[in-house]
Amino acid sequence: MDKLKDHCGVIGIYLSNHDDSASRLAYYGLQSLQHRGQESTGIAVGDGEKIEHFKAMGLVADVYKKENLDALKGHLAIGHVLYSTCGKAAIENAQPFVSRSKLGTIAVAHNGSLVNTEPMKEFLEETGSTFTSTSDSEVIIKLIAKNYKKGLERALTDTIQLIKGSFALAVMTEKTLIGARDPNGIRPLCLGKLPNGWILASESCAIDAIGGELVRDIAPGEIVIINDDGVLSFNFGEKTSKKTCVFEYVYFARPDTIMDGIGVLEARIKMGEVLARESGVAADVVIGVPDSGLGAAMGYSKASGIPYAMGIVKNKYIGRTFIAPSQEAREAMVFVKLNALKSDLYGKRVVVIDDSIVRGTTSRRLIQIIRRAGAKEVHIRISSPPVKYPCYFGIDTPARADLISATLETDEICKSIGADSLAFISMDGMIEALQSCEYEEDSPGVMTIGENGRNGKQREGSNARDGGVSPYGASNCGYCQGCFLGEYPMPMIGELGKR
């Protein structure tokens, strides 16, 4: 499908009662994060004295056998699912990465993408490090390992201040689980409470899946250290400016996830409502492109009063493992993946809601499918603004020349894909939709870090409050809009800036 693709998902488990089943919980959590990466997966587990790990190519459900999980015994674990953007699909790029030295063992799982990999790699190679993968994440573990003699906390803060880009990290030693999020909070990471421990996850749906409760999001620039003493939280730098990836809400995240205090489905519904207000059209039925267009379609229907219908059925059994050999064959796969419901569409003026247009190839085929089912008119509405620039922060985007909105105006795209009309949500409209979904203060389920703010250290544990406020309160307005405007959360250097 012609979509931007997410990079990875991470999970971390700490069982305070030293039950040795952390790997099983990581496994179930990874199942819930499978949409974030389907190329490879891995789990590392610690028992207080050593770290063991297992990695393989493929889907979580296919990769792990009972004997793999039985062999991974310990009370803390980190796990990873990967769709590689900067490294090629190969087992050497699978995560977690593990580094062993006489000081101890460290394992790292990373979601995101570094923008200063090359200078960091050169620096490490000049000082004796060797690399076994093409992944930028290996730079992170090498830097932590290099600084480990200064102590874990210092090694982490020193590393994190050297690397630039997006990172949500789950790190472990034999005894300690650590979570960290980049100073802009570009990629998500949240903290959950288990009956007998703690969980870190890219998305709250993984916390729900293993019977935990979402405590809060890890704040931009925050490190949490989890061990038998509870959760120690501190900031690794003074300068944080929240710039969460807006596409997490539009497309990547699961609808049942709550991210930085915003319910993903709720956000999609609101985007649909704004879209209806901004670009209404006379029509008989509203349908959404499965799955991520469905929420916005519900919102469009609600705001416009035009009835909502299913309209399109998706074949769920086409795996990513099937790689069609040519562009034409890949486009034809849309016919295999999606089919239209004639009973919903025949003789009707149809509004079709999709989350994005990247190259335009899927939209073109989709409109053919809907017209073949007898639709009288096809009006396309997109719940994100035009994607005109590449992403450098962990999302796989085509080169700029292949982004249809980078070269064509909206009316030209409309003609090119064969729609009767086309409109995108405005940037202001999308941000307005997100802001209207922010949890109000005192909403349950999201907990503040504490009275000291995030610059001091604070330990969370049994005294943690059950109800509290979003870490961002009512000023949660910082989103990365780089792929829409070309304005990124940090300066792009060298070749990256020229793409």
Question: Which residue ranges make up the site for ligand SF4 (CB under 6 A)?
Answer: 186, 245-247, 391, 393, 395, 480-483
Pick 72 or 431: Cβ nearer ligand SF4: 431
Between 470 and 481, CB nearer to ligand SF4: 481
Please, what is the minimum distance in Å from the beta carbon of residue 333 to ligand SF4?
Answer: 23
Report d(CA 65, CA 74) in Å as an integer.
Answer: 17
| Distance of closest approach, residue 19 Cβ to ligand SF4, in angstroms | 37
Task: Phi first, then psi: give them for residue 192, nearest 5 degrees.
Answer: -130, 160
Smallest distance, Å, CB 387 to ligand SF4? 8
In angstroms, what is the minimal distance from the CB of 496 to ligand SF4? Answer: 12
**Residue 131 tokens, joined:** 């690399």
CB of 62 to ligand SF4, least distance (A): 28
Q: Which of 310, 290, 235, 295 is nearest to 264 (CA)?
A: 295
Which of residues 79 and 478 has its CB atom nearest to ligand SF4 in the complex?
Answer: 478
Residue 43 token pair: 């789990």
Block residue for tokens 């590393």: 159
The distance of closest approach from Cβ of residue 466 to ligand SF4 in the complex, given in angstroms and rounded to an integer, is 32
Task: Give 59 or 253: the residue with its C-beta nearer to ligand SF4.
Answer: 253
How many Å apart are CA 341 and CA 343, to the nearest integer? Answer: 5
* Pick 111 or 361: Cβ nearer ligand SF4: 111
Residue pair 380/360 in contact (Cβ under 8 Å)? The answer is no
Q: Which amino acid makes up residue 103?
A: L
Considering 8, 190, 245, 480, which one is annotated as catalytic? Answer: 8
Q: Name the nearest CA neighbour of 216 among 467, 457, 479.
A: 467
Nearest to ligand SF4 of 113, 233 (CB atom): 113
Asked if 285 and 350 touch (Cβ cutoff 8 Å), the reply is yes
* Residue 477 is a catalytic residue: no
Q: Which residues are catalytic?
A: 8
